[in-house]
Structure 1
Amino acid sequence: MNYLPASFLVASMLLLGCAEPDVSLSADNGATATVADAAHNSRNALDWDGRYEGVLPCADCEGIKTKLTLQQDGRYQLESQYLGKSNQVFREQGTFEWDSSGQIIQLQRPQPGGDQFFVGENRLWQLDMAGQRITGELAEQYQLHKAPPAELASAPLAGTRWQLTELMGQPLSANNPAYIVFSSTEPRVYGNAGCNRFFGSYELNTGQMRLRLSGIGMTQMACMQDTIEPEFSEVLQSFDNFNLTDDTLTLNRARMAPLARFTAAGPAEK
């Protein structure tokens, strides 16, 4: 996993001196972080799960192009690209926690910095290291906006050949035959489990990042050597959600580490 460079932390700390301790937030207009009614807060009153995007200020680059996906089960996926500095996209995933007010989330990251966000209506505000609203000339730029469901639905899960590159945390050779394809014209899934071909149906809920396979069948060819087929077949039956980035697909179960990781290998054969 690539960890984010120190400039992400620096960008979050730059305006600490501009933050006023009595500044607070609200879900509607960024006015207060104090919750008068504990039963009505961002966590339980807003449709907050989904993908948020934006370009955050950067200390030593043109901006940090950011995509942050929050899931209902408390997991997140973060993508960051340092514009004008590198074309590399840094990716990480993990869990997040809500504060006692139900208004602020904190990413449980291996390196601190830029990990607290106030959750508003279709927006996230990045907070400073003290959990306060960042003020100053760049204050309004510390926002991420929620991607509309239609955009998520058009993500290229279907119609792509996803090559299996990691199984149960173990990297696989680039020439292994296992892959999976989700049809773009009907809810049909097929692929290679390592020796035999499999096929079946799938149900997809992009809003909740849920994916389920059903009616899985498999050819019965005799495999002449040990394959990953038993382990991969078990994953196909046991995963219950997924993560999707530009060219990486992971199949997951609950909050566990990814059971399988795939890389886009081009369009599926017609």
Structure 2
Amino acid sequence: MKKRLLVTALLLSSCSQLPADRQAAVTETLIIPAQPAAVPQEDGDIIENNDTAASVATDFEHIFVDTDMTFSGTLPCADCPGVSYHINLFRDGRFETRQEYLQRNQVNLIKGIWLLENRSLHLVNQQHTLPAFHFLNNSTLAMLDLAGKPIASNKNYQLSREAEVRKLDTRQAMLGLYTLRDNQASFKACQSGEVLDVANTQHHLPVMRQYQQDDRLNSSPVIATLVGRRGPDDKNNLLFIDKFEQFWPGASCPDQLQPGKMQGIVWRAEKLATQYVPQQLNVRVIFEANDRLYGFAGCNNFNGGYKQRSNQLTVQPLVSTRKFCADSSELEQQFTQSLQAADRIEVNGDTLQLFKNNQLILQFKPAVN
């Protein structure tokens, strides 16, 4: 037995004395396991950047705004049917959004920069406070509450990504001071104080003719209401009129520093008794200093006389145009009847209220657009 072990040891010892090149070859053969043959991938095995791949990536906080994106949808609103959002995120860090309060005729066009913290998206603008959002995945934004937490609700608080980037609709209702000199018009918006040059388009030419032919205006600046839009970046100081509504002789921009004024303000109807008035109908009235009033009731223009003593009010029978509008004629009739029935008027801050037998029948706010 001892002899057999000795012979085995000598044999192993002799193996370790192989030349260096042969020893390396033997070593590689002994320690490298056999590798399975690589299976070539077919083109169909490549995973495209589809919704499935995008959602898988977000499981590890992988959210990148490396391309321009458009998100849109309607979010809940406390005192209106909803807030419609159109948000464009640009990969260079800018954003632009259209925020429209439905049936309140309020549109905010806001630009700024976006900040991304993990999945939380913050839209930063010095003049406006916008909600923050959370990327559920690359195609869905969920609105966050004031504490930065997801909103627990059975209502829809999500915006969806559109297939392609969509240009922002910059049209909005505007109220401001229209001035015309030498066929060149300017418009000073009451809400922002900005002064814009009015582009001489086919929609503006009839406005110019009406201004020139109205003896009441006497070539003086006048408050006007219209639907317009700013020009593109290289023409940002231009106002393009899409729809002209009317001139308001005797009116002025609402003075936020001097509330309580009744005359000379374009008042927008906010409530008819306890019913909110759809703001897109633009129901408005102005009480002039000469005991005349006029306005727009949603379909027809009207005018008439009124008498005021202290808080007592008497509105004389109104004269109105006679158009029929299926979506507003019923409300218009209720509005004009209530206006003529009012026996008391009060201005509390920026709110004008009309009463009948001590019951609130109409409520107005100063129109800023």
* Structure with the higher fraction of residues in helix conformation: 2
Task: Provide TM-score, normalisation by structure 2.
Answer: 0.32
Task: Provide TM-score, normalisation by structure 1.
Answer: 0.43
Higher relative contact order (CA 8 A, sep 6+): 1
Q: Choose 1 or 2 for highest CA Rg.
A: 2
